[in-house]
Structure 1
């Protein structure tokens, strides 16, 4: 493959500035000598046309070497971010832009490969476990239907059935966690878009909202998934009221979700977002709810963290405002 020559950025910018300055001096000198020969009016018109043409050439070079490669790289990055078909740029302009673009493309491809590997692993694990778990569950049901089990044996079969159901729930939660990393809920939404829906879904909760007209950079369905999981956790911890507050803080939109439940102990707080961590294992908890919320938010450039709270639990969701 033929190696294409690419100027460095300093050469391009320096050449553009030198060319602009040179055109100005050349115009003054040419006007000094052409004016007496063909008239200053005609000389000015001729020189203006020549300078405009030379400036247009410089502008074309800057567009080709700087603006077009930057826009092409931006288009590629947006396509990679939204999951669309991302075609790498063909032209990179200067050496610096070429190096930067290659690194950005390599990073995007590495992240895509990692996500594909995680998805393939989760699909493989869930597929391989589904058959033996189903076989164990079917065998336990056959034993229970036989009617000849002693109370102790029946209790043991019940434990086997419960464990099988719990494994199936964990596998389903694992699939949902991986899908949350891939889901894209583009657009924006407000709390007012969801208040009626949340009130209908959680009639026992008293809802209070501030900043309900604040635009939050995530689609309504995605925000509903996040808040539904946080509401579910709050109810499971004895909450009867939840407060939502959206505020703009510099380049960020912060959403505080506070409940009046029993709260999270200091010992458990560092682990609440860890996959499969739960204090409700006996009640069927999978420990994947907050992990799914975190994955979904991370897929949208947002984050979630525990915030200090005198009572109950408060989560701080932080979104980056889209650039204008």
Structure 2
């Protein structure tokens, strides 16, 4: 950021007001004395031209000092939201002192968020890389022990438990990698539920899927929406649901998606934990506790929130896209 003098916002606004009033007063005075000399009509035309040019110059100054940096800062914020690294680069022009401080604070915040996101990805990659080798060694050792014909039934059962634990560790590492990848803002765009409905029905033939409002545009690409729906449908199937209703509604420009199934629902003691990583009530049947956290992270990265909605029967989730989240033109 270049160090140079910048006017304060009070000076710019005060100067604009004083300049506007001054031009009017000076125009009246000049017209009073110039009118008798060259005629009131030519004097009025001349003053109109001078005042117009002065007003234009004042407008250009306000655009440069106020509108231009604010618009550029807005574009940078949008670039950061879209996951573009250049969004945190310094602005070429900041305008006033207040905008300079505001812009610097916003860009510092964007850089901190990018560093934090990179740290999370690096940590996840490091953990999955470092644990991959010992997990593979445990699985290989368990396979060798399993091939030993001298193992008694108790030892063979222990080997089976070791293999199950190793597989569970592998599943957790894979889920950790997926939940980190879900924070990548790679699914911007728009689609409709009807666009991916056929694929969802093929992937989940055991679910009676009912869709309402499938022609309403959603501010998420088809690939991103399919990831969200696949996890939610998998979650419903794994909890023995047979019917699921997906309803899309729109209030003004803000769409919402409601998912309701006929499964056993979420117990009161588990409702506060369903979005926590690694929390699952199906640990003994291979659950990793990462499906809903992946959905939440992906949606948060694309301007949406998901919540568990209280219901008398089954489980109900509500996805709400934040107000003002624009739907990209396709």
Give the match's secondary structure for 1:318: strand
Aligned to 1:212: 214
Return the TM-score normalized by structure 2.
0.93
| TM-score, normalisation: structure 1 | 0.95
Could you report, residue by residue, the CA deviation over 1:160-198 in whole angstroms, capped at 9, with x for unpaired residues? Answer: 111111101000000111111113211122222222222
Paired residues for 1:1-324 under 5 Å: 3-84=3-84, 85-86=86-87, 87-249=89-251, 252-322=254-324
Q: Name the SS for the 1:181 alignment partner.
A: coil
Q: Distance in 2 between matches of 1:227 and 1:288?
A: 14
Separation in 2 of the partners of 1:81 and 1:237?
35
Q: 1:2 to 1:151 in 2, by over 3 A?
A: closer
Cα distance in structure 1, aligned partners of 2:40 and 2:287: 88
Distance 2:185 2:67 in 1: 32
Please state how far the C-alpha of 1:120 moved relative to its aligned partner. Answer: 1.1
Aligned-residue RMSD, C-alpha: 1.7
Deviating more after overlay: 311-320 vs 91-100? 91-100
Q: Post-superposition shift, 1:323?
A: 5.7
The answer to which of 193-202 and 219-228 deviates more is 193-202
SS at match of 1:254: strand
Deviations 1:38-59 (A, max 9, x none): 2223222221221122112101
Residue 257 of structure 2 aligns to a residue whose secondary structure is strand
Deviations 1:274-314 (Å, cap 9, x if unpaired)? 10011111111100100101111111121111101111000
Deviations 1:241-288 (A, max 9, x none): 111112224563221100011111111111111100111111111001
Structure 2's unaligned 5+ residue stretches are none
Instruction: Provide the rounded CA distance (Å) in 2 between the counterparts of 1:27 and 1:215.
Output: 55
Deviation at 1:150, TM superposition (A): 2.0
State the distance in 1 between where 2:226 and 2:17 align: 53
Structure 1 CA distance for aligned equivalents of residues 18 and 221 of structure 2: 49
Moved over 6 A (4+): none
> Structure 2 CA distance, aligned partners of 1:215 and 1:11?
46
Structure 1, unaligned runs of 5 or more:
none
Are 2:303 and 2:325, in contact at CA under 8 Å, matched by a contact in 1? no
Shift of residue 210, structure 1, vs aligned partner: 2.0
For the 8 Å contact 2:299–2:306, the answer to whether it is kept is yes
> Helix, strand or coil for the counterpart of 1:146?
coil
Distance 2:21 2:74 in 1: 32
Contact 2:218–2:255 (8 Å) recurs in 1: yes
State the SS of the aligned residue for 1:308: coil
Contact conserved, 1:217 with 1:321, CA < 8 A, in 2? no
